[in-house]
A and B are shown apart, each in its own frame.
Chain A
Amino acid sequence: MSLLEIKNAHLKLDNKEILKGVSLSVNKGEVHAIMGPNGSGKSTLSYMLAGREGYELETGEILLEGNPLNEMSADERARSGLFLAFQYPVELPGVGGMSFLREAVNSRRKFLGEEEFDHLGFVKEARKEASKMFVKDEMLKRAVNVGFSGGEKKRFEILQMAMLKPKVSILDETDSGLDVDALKIVSEGVNAQRNKENAIVVITHYQRLLDYIVPDFVHILSDGAIIKSGGPELALEVEKNGYAGLINAA
C-alpha cells in the first residue's frame, strides 16, 4: 500500500478548473519532486492535500496509508502525519514561537498516544532541534514568522517538520529565497529526516535543490496535470531545455 495516494484529483477555484486529474503514488522511504511552470497548480495541489478550506476536490480521492483524507479537516490531517511547508509562511503577531511549536507538537503526540511534553521538557527539545537548523533561541521567543527574513521563515518551517515527525511532508518551494548556505542547512535538515517509514514531496523550480535532496522520482505538473514522470535526469532536462519542449511533446 502506498503511503500517499492521489487518484485523479480534480479541483476548481472560483469555478476555474485548476487541477485536471492529478494522480500520484508515494511509497514509504521515497522522495518525489514536483516541478512545473508558474501557475501550473503546484501550491493548489499542496493546499488541497493539507485540507485548506475552499480546496476540496471536485472528484478524485486522496489516501494516507489507505485512509481517505477527503472528509478530514486540515488539523486532523496534520495530526495524522501530513505536513506542508508553506511557500509563503504566515505571520502570527502575538503568538510566541515556542508556545506555537509546543501546541503543534503536543497535538500530534496526543494523537499518536505519546506523552505530551511539559513546559521545560519541551523547551529543551525545541532548542536542541532549533540549533540543528541554526534557528537562534531568540527567534523562538518572537512571534511566529513576524519580522523573520525569507530564509529564516523557511528554516522555521523545516524546524517544525523536524519536531512534528510527519509521515508525508510536502515542501512547497522551500528553497526559494534561500542563499547558498541556507539551502545547505535546510537540505541537510530535510535529509536528516529521511527514513524508511516516511516520504517527502518537494516542489521546486530549481534543479539545484535536487542536488542536495536527491529525489527518487521527478514529476512535471503542467496546467493542472502531471504530464511526465521520470528519475532525477528529468530535472536536468528541465534545467537545460525549460518546460516548453516537455509540454509540447506531451
Chain B
Amino acid sequence: MLHDVKEDYVRSIKKYTSSYHENHFRSLASKDFNGWPNPLEEKWRLSRLGALSRIKMLPIKPDLKKVSDSNKKLGSYILKFIDGAFREDLSSELPTGISLKELNEKESLEFFHKIKESDLNNHPSTNVSLSCTPSIIKLTVNKDTNVKELIEIFYEGGHQNFSVHPVLYVELKENSNLSLIENFNHFTSLVMPLQLTEIQEKGSLKSIKIFDDNDDTYNLSAHCALLSKEATFNSFSLVKGGIFTRSETHAYLNGTNAKLNLNGVYISGKKQHHDLTTAIYHDVPDCTSKQIVRGVLGGFSSGVFQGKVRVAPDAQKTDGQQMSKAILVSKNANANAKPELEIYADDVVCAHGATVGELDDDQLFYLNSRGIPENKARQMLIQAFLKDIINDSVDGQYHDYIFNEAQSSLSSILNEEK
C-alpha cells in the first residue's frame, strides 16, 4: 500500500499545535493547513508542489547549539536565524532607535490576523510557519530614525526531511529609514519564511534578498508589505539557489503617494525551478509601482514570473509599470511569464511587457566579429542584461557585491552549456 506522507505532514502540524487553546494563533493557523496547494489552483499551476507530498517531513525542532558557518559580509549589524529560530547569541546588538523582540501571544495573534487579512491568507508558509515557528521576531525602527548602517540577516540551518519556519515582522515607524539584506542559506530542507513589513508614513525601506539555499532545498517564501502614505519600499530579490524556490510578495499601497519598486532576478540551472510571484494592490490614488524582473535559464531549469497588479476604482493617477524578460541559454530550459492586470480605475498609466527568448543574434555576431569567442560573447551579453537591472535596483555601494553573487551562478550555468 502507498504510504501517504502528505497526510503525515498535515497530521504532524496539527499534532504540533494540539496542546494550544483553540483560539491560540498556532491552532488557528494549523486549522487552515490541509495539504499542499492543488495544481488546479491558478496561483500554483506553474509551480507545482506535488513532489513535497511525496517527501516524508516534520517541522524542525531548532537546535540552539548549532553553530553558524556564515560570516558577516556587508552589514554592520547581523541577525541570525538558525533552523528558523532567532539566535541572539550569534547576532549583533542593534544601534539606538531600532529594537528587536519576540512577540508575546497576544501580539502574535494580532500578527496572525494582519497576515490573514492579506491575500497570503492561504499560502502554505502562512499557515504552517505560524503553526510551527519557534517565535515571531519583530524588528522595529523608531519614528524619525535614520539607520545608516546596513542590517544583514542570515537564515540558515535545516535538516533533511524537516521544515524550517522563520517568521519576521519588520515595522518602520513614521519617517524612518532602514536598509536590509537577507540571505537564505539553508541545508537540504523545506524552508517556509514568512514576513510582514509595515512601513508607516514617510518611512523608507530598502531590501535585498538573496535566495541561495543548497541544491535540494525547497524555499516557499511569503512576504506581505503594507505601505502607508508617502512610504517607499525598494525591494530586490536575487533567486539562485535551491531545487525549488518561490518568492511570493504581496504589496499593499494603502496610502497616497506610496512608492514601490519590486525588482528581481532569477538565475536557474540544472533542474532548478525558480518562481517570482508578486501581487501589487493599488488601493488609493497617486501611488507608483515599478517592477523589472529578469531571468537567465540554463540546463533543464524552469522559471516563472507571475505579476498581478490590481488598481482599485478609487486609485486614480496610479502609475504601474511591469517588465519581465527571460533569456534561455539552453534548449531544455523554459520560462513562463504571467502578467495579470486588473484595472478598475480609468485615469491610470499602466504598462507591462513580458518576453522570453534567446540572446540577440545581431549582438552576438557583433561581438564575434571582434574576435570575442562565442562563449565569452554570450557571457558578456548576459552579464550586461543582469548588470543593467542590478544597477537600477540596488544602491551603488552594493552593485559589485550583488553582481558577483549573480555572476557566480551565471558562470556555472554557462559552463554547463559548453
Contact = CB atoms under 8 A, between A and B. Distances in A.
B381 A92 contact: yes
A140 interface: no
A225 B372 CA distance: 31
B373 interface: yes
Given A53-B365, A94-B385, A94-B388, A73 B371 contact: no
B380 A90 contact: no
22 contacts: A50-B369, A52-B369, A53-B365, A73-B374, A74-B369, A75-B367, A75-B368, A75-B371, A78-B368, A78-B371, A84-B369, A86-B369, A90-B363, A90-B365, A93-B388, A100-B367, A100-B380, A104-B370, A107-B370, A107-B371, A111-B371, A164-B370
Interface in A111-146: 111, 143
Interface in A58-84: 73-75, 78-79, 83-84
Contacts of B372: 75, 78, 103-104, 107
Contact of B373 (A50, A75, A92, A143): A75
Given A93-B388, A94-B385, A108 B363 contact: no
A200 to B, nearest CB: 16
B5 to A, nearest CB: 46
Nearest to B389: A94
A204 interface: no
A13 interface: no
Interface of A: 50-53, 73-75, 78-79, 83-84, 86, 89-95, 100, 103-104, 107-108, 111, 143, 160, 164
B383 interface: yes
Nearest to B391: A94
B338 interface: no
Nearest to A110: B371
Most chain A beta-carbon contacts within 10 A, residue among B365, B377, B388: B365
A92 B363 contact: yes
Question: Could you say which interface size class chain B belongs to?
Answer: 20 to 34
Contacts, number: 75
Interface in B342-396: 361-363, 365-374, 376-377, 380-381, 383-385, 387-388
Nearest to A143: B384
Interface string B171-210: 0000000000000000000000000000000000000000
Mostly, the B contact residues are: helix
Nearest to A90: B366
B65 to A, nearest CB: 47
A50 B369 CA distance: 6
Contacts of B381: 92, 95
Contacts of A90: 362-363, 365-366
Given A93-B388, A94-B387, A94-B388, A74 B380 contact: no
Nearest to A81: B371
Contacts of A78: 368-372
B411 to A, nearest CB: 16
Contacts of B363: 90-92
Given A74-B369, A90-B366, A92-B363, A103 B380 contact: yes
A92 B370 contact: no
B325 to A, nearest CB: 12
Given A53-B361, A103-B376, A103-B380, A92 B366 contact: yes
A53 B363 CA distance: 12
B369 A94 contact: no
B373 A89 contact: no
B374 A75 contact: yes
A213 to B, nearest CB: 21
Nearest to A91: B363
Given A74-B365, A90-B363, A92-B366, A164 B384 contact: no
| Best-surrounded residue of A83, A84, A93, A108 (most CB of chain B within 10 A) | A93
A197 to B, nearest CB: 18
Contacts of B366: 86, 89-90, 92
A92 B368 CA distance: 13
A108 to B, nearest CB: 5
A142 B126 CA distance: 46
Contacts of A79: 371
A89 B370 CA distance: 12
Contacts of A51: 368-369
A95 B380 contact: yes
A94 B370 CA distance: 17
A95 B371 contact: no
Q: 10 closest Cβ contacts across the A-B interface?
A: A94-B384, A78-B371, A104-B370, A74-B368, A90-B366, A107-B371, A79-B371, A75-B368, A94-B388, A95-B384
Nearest to A52: B365
Contacts of A91: 363
B358 to A, nearest CB: 13
Contacts of A111: 371
A244 to B, nearest CB: 33
A91 B376 CA distance: 17
Nearest to A85: B369
A100 B372 CA distance: 9
Nearest to B366: A90
Interface in B82-132: none
